Amino acid sequence: MKAVIFDLDGVITDTAEYHFLAWKHIAQQIDIPFDRRMNERLKGISREESLESLLISGGAETWYTNAEKQELMHQKNHYYQTLIRKLTPEDLLPGIGRLLCELKNEHIKIGLASSSRNAPEILKRLAIIDDFHAIVDPAALANGKPDPEIFLTAAALLDVSPADCAAIEDAEAGISAIKSAGMFAVGVGHEQSMIGADLIVRHTCDLTLELLKEEWERYRKKV
């Protein structure tokens, strides 16, 4: 294992909850139902795809012009940005700070593969941006998760072969992307949402370098 590539929202910090709150705010405004179960489908996918999915689930896919959709996304992001402004280094999810230290101590490269255009701002607020050797710009990609492009780009930026990378995700689309990239997939969350992951942990505090290495060895013997 020469590199570990992280998803951001829901893995490094609990901004998955802020995305939910921001979409809920928009859904209430346009009077369509939206709950946590529907939100699961939005995890890991872009702002544009999230809005489409939200509108389709509410039977509202033909209600808005492209300009109005842009305005809805702008409002969602504006609301979301008011929430992330409160982030401090205290908002790292449990165990993530320790894992980053362990990786640095062992000279394992660290990458970020987040679909969020707000990612650099969040890493700065968490005071961990300097720990990352590569941060993929999602705006420069042709395809979002579950396409493997974002993870393959991270590996290329880190100058590490995909087969030598582990990647950590909390979304179904992300796990599919990692597996399509030929990497060791670590899922954080419920087993039923992490289908295909090579290692599943319930909480980020369970993510230690020792566990990753152990499971990595087991996985490498199988493939």
Which residues of this chain interact with Mg ion, rule CB under 5 A?
Answer: 7, 9-10, 170-171
Q: Is 209 one of the binding residues for ligand BG6 (CB under 6 A)?
A: no
**Element containing residue 26 per DSSP (H, E):** helix 15-29
Count CB neighbours of 147 within 10 A.
Answer: 16
Distance of alpha carbon 118 from alpha carbon 95, whole angstroms: 22
Give residues 76-105 in contact with ligand BG6 (rule: CB under 6 A): 77
Q: Which residue is nearest to Mg ion (CB)?
A: 10
Select the span of 36-44, 96-104, 175-183, 208-216 touching ligand BG6 (CB under 6 A): 36-44
Q: How far is the CB of 11 from Mg ion (least distance, A)?
A: 6
Whole-angstrom distance between the N-terminal and C-terminal Cα of the chain? 14
Distance of alpha carbon 4 from alpha carbon 42, whole angstroms: 24
Please say if 9 is a catalytic residue. yes
Contact 44, 172 (CB under 8 A): yes
Q: x-or-dash pattern for ligand BG6, window 115-134, by CB under 6 A?
A: xxxx----------------
**Residue 102 assigned as binding residue:** no
Q: How far is the CB of 164 from ligand BG6 (least distance, A)?
A: 24
Distance of alpha carbon 180 from alpha carbon 193, whole angstroms: 17
**Which tokens belong to 167?**
């990647």
Determine which residue in the list 114, 153, 176, 204 makes contact with ligand BG6, applying CB under 6 A. 114
**Which residue numbers are catalytic?**
7, 9
